[in-house]
Amino acid sequence: MNMGEYVVSHKSLFIIGAMILLLFIALIVGYNYVITNYTVTTVYVEGNIHYTNEEIIGMVMEGSYGNNSLLLSLRYKNKSIEGVPFVEKMDVSVENPHTIKIEVYEKAIAGYVEYLERFMYFDKDGIVVESSKERTAGIPQVTGLTFDHVVMYEPLPVEDASIFRSILSITQLVNKYNLSTDRIYFGNDGSLMLYFGDVRASLGMGEYLDEKMMILQDILPKLSGQEGTLRMENYTGDTKNIPFELD
């Protein structure tokens, strides 16, 4: 190799090295820009009941750089999050480089029954939508139903399917009056009883349910620490006193 060729070769290596260095610097600058300007600082969560905001955020923003709005927009573009128990889907939208919104669409669960040591959750139509070994707070257990098998995504095989409309009405009224019932019991004669810890409310055949729930909202706090049954079977709109039978 003569001196001229050596100079050209050396110059080419210098140019290549300089280009690699510039590319490396550009990557560092670009990385810092993305990290600095697309860091999520505000998250809005809507529609969640069974999971806390923190739990939902943890599911959506998991993994490396899960707090980067640019990467989140790519990860969830035209894609909903599915496969989360009790949730139909979750949609993630980037409002601005520092803000995202998570919309949670939960399954409409009316109650659960116990079957083969599992909690089988069903919707307003009695269709089993979730099976779990853990009990979820805020969803009442339903007892008194008769069935000999349970199949996921099929209705509970009860004799009278209209009972599920009754269950939905009860759970809606319970939520309306900010009550929290542990268990709903249906007797063979169609009678109804709600369990609130150590206090039971015998509601009879389901008449005047709205009025009875309103009364329960006032009575239950006064019965804290006691055990017994509120006899509301014979309640009418003119009833003044509700008997309470201590255990």
What is the average pLDDT across 56-77? Answer: 87
Q: Are strands 118-123 and 128-132 parallel, antiparallel or unpaired?
A: antiparallel
What is the average pLDDT across 31-38? Answer: 66
- pLDDT value at 5 more than 80: no
Q: What pLDDT was estimated at residue 241?
A: 82
Q: Are 87 and 27 in contact (CB under 8 A)?
A: no
pLDDT tens-digit map of 127-145:
999 998 988 888 899 999 9
Give the angle 18-21-24 at the CA atoms, nearest 5°: 150
- pLDDT value at 159 more than 70: yes
Residue 44: pLDDT band by 50, 70, 90 thresholds?
Answer: very high
Give the distance from CA 26 to its chain's centroid: 44
Which tokens belong to 101?
Answer: 């919104």
What is the average pLDDT across 114-134? Answer: 90
Which of 6-15, 34-43, 105-114 has the lowest average pLDDT? 6-15
Q: What one-character-per-residue DSSP string does 94-143 give?
A: EEETTEEEEEEEE--EEEEEEETTEEEEEETT-BEEEEESSPPTT--EEE
223 φ/ψ angles, rounded to the nearest 5 degrees: -100, 10
Residue 202: pLDDT band by 50, 70, 90 thresholds?
Answer: very high
Mean residue pLDDT of the chain comes to: 85
Residue 121: pLDDT band by 50, 70, 90 thresholds?
Answer: very high
167: Cα within 13 Å, side-chain hemisphere: 29
Angle, helices 209-219/163-176, rounded to nearest 10 degrees? 40
Which of 91-95, 128-132, 139-143, 204-208 has the lowest average pLDDT? 204-208
Q: Are 27 and 35 in contact (CB under 8 A)?
A: no
Q: How far apart are CA 171 and CA 108, in angstroms?
A: 11
Whole-angstrom Cα Rg for the chain: 30
Q: Taking the complete model, does pTM exceed 0.75, yes or no?
A: no
